[in-house]
Amino acid sequence: MSNSMPHSMQPHIKAWLARLGSEKRLSSLTLNAYERDVRQFLNFLALHFEDTVTLELFRSIIPADIRAFMAMRRKTGIESRSLMRGIAGIKSFFRYLEREGLGEASVISAIKSPRIGRSLPKPVAMAAAKSIADADTRAGEPREQWVLARDAAVLSLLYGAGLRISEALSLKRCEAPVNGVDVITVTGKGNKMRSLPILPQISLSLQEYLRLVPHHLSPQGPLFVGVRGGVLSPRIIQYAVEAMRGFLGLPPSATPHALRHSFATHLLSRGGDLRTIQELLGHASLSTTQIYTKVESTELMAAFRAAHPRAR
């Protein structure tokens, strides 16, 4: 941790970070980021008030002082997302002081978080998405056949059923949609359960993996396992897609999660109902799903501009 903070606040900072580490179990990277954000705020206050920042001075802060800090950070070119994270750390420090009877959090609670422009999902083109979920695409790799089949089965669930990678990897062996089973039930965000239809191609991909996997899979154990038979890490699937991006000529936005975006976008482009897609994706709000309509209209306009004679 940095020692450049005003000395009178240092004990409170250390106690706050220690509590975050023990109670919230935040990583050292997050704690370092929080410490840096609060240090920047304290250094600003020292210049703003032209005085050493004591606990008494800290208690005298008003919302206008915090807005002045945010304006200063804006002038340095900081993005809204980074500024929002910084304000979150400062809010956490205020709340800690309030719990300890050393201050009030109402002054920071009055500050609205910076608005973040919502970026559009970046789906993978239909042909590329099919290639990513096909084991034959990686046939030349020096990997065991069952590993290639496993990765293809996971990716086929992401593209063919719109699963999140965490949902696919949390499936148990007894839940595998094979041998005539064409529906699976998954538990998504907020412990919300949803049932999803499974296409025959996905079942075939899973059957091939189960035929080749060399490890015993207990019914209540994980469906997808690593090379030693343990829990499969999402990072392994991410590595697999990264490897395929190179020889498929895909951008960095082509990730496992992009296959879920592709599932929604391609369904919509084929006439899928927005409410149905919402249910399949497990979105709590229809407005979350509606962003895919913007993706489709953007792609349509791009295709129009590329093809129409008057657009050139």
In tens, the pLDDT along 60-94 reads: 888 888 889 888 888 887 777 777 878 888 888 88
What pLDDT is attached to residue 140?
83
Strand blocks (E) in 108-246:
183-187, 193-197
Whether 142 and 205 share a structural domain: yes
What pLDDT is attached to residue 118?
60
CA 32 to chain centre: 21
pLDDT band at 57 (very low <50, low <70, confident <90, very high): confident
Beta strand 193-197 pairing with 183-187: antiparallel
Range of the domain at 279: 126-309
Whether 149 and 291 share a structural domain: yes
Whether 193 and 293 share a structural domain: yes
Whether 200 and 234 share a structural domain: yes
What pLDDT is attached to residue 7?
53
Of the residues 53, 80, 109, which one is the last residue of a structural domain?
109
Whether 178 and 293 share a structural domain: yes
More confident residue, 308 or 236: 236
Residue 213 covered by a domain: yes
Segment 152-196, tens digit of pLDDT = 999 999 999 999 999 999 999 999 999 999 999 998 887 889 999
CATH number of the domain that 32 lies in? 1.10.150.130
User: Which amino acid type is present at position 36?
Assistant: R
Whether 156 and 271 share a structural domain: yes
The conformation of residue 198, written as its DSSP 8-state character, comes to -
- pLDDT of residue 273 exceeding 80: yes
Active-site residues, by number, are 164, 189, 257, 260, 283, 292
Residue 118 covered by a domain: no
What pLDDT is attached to residue 240?
94
What pLDDT is attached to residue 161?
94
- pLDDT of residue 197 exceeding 80: yes
Of the residues 50, 76, 109, which one is the last residue of a structural domain?
109
Residue 1 covered by a domain: no
Whether 29 and 103 share a structural domain: yes
Q: Report d(CA 253, CA 124) in Å as an integer.
A: 8
- pLDDT of residue 266 exceeding 50: yes
- pLDDT of residue 287 exceeding 70: yes
What pLDDT is attached to residue 305?
61
Residue 290 covered by a domain: yes
What pLDDT is attached to residue 21?
84
| Non-local CB neighbours of 103 within 8 Å, separated by 6+ positions | 55, 58, 59, 94, 97
pLDDT band at 208 (very low <50, low <70, confident <90, very high): very high
Residue 205 covered by a domain: yes
Sign of the Cα torsion 267, 268, 272, 276 reads positive
- pLDDT of residue 261 exceeding 50: yes
Residue 37 covered by a domain: yes
- pLDDT of residue 259 exceeding 50: yes
Q: What is the mean pLDDT of the chain?
A: 86
What pLDDT is attached to residue 113?
64
- pLDDT of residue 133 exceeding 90: yes
What pLDDT is attached to residue 172?
96
Rounded average pLDDT over 226-254: 93
More confident residue, 69 or 117: 69
Whether 152 and 266 share a structural domain: yes
Rounded average pLDDT over 41-51: 87
Whether 158 and 19 share a structural domain: no
Taking a C-beta distance cutoff of 8 angstroms, is the pair 31, 17 a contact?
yes
Strand blocks (E) in the chain:
183-187, 193-197
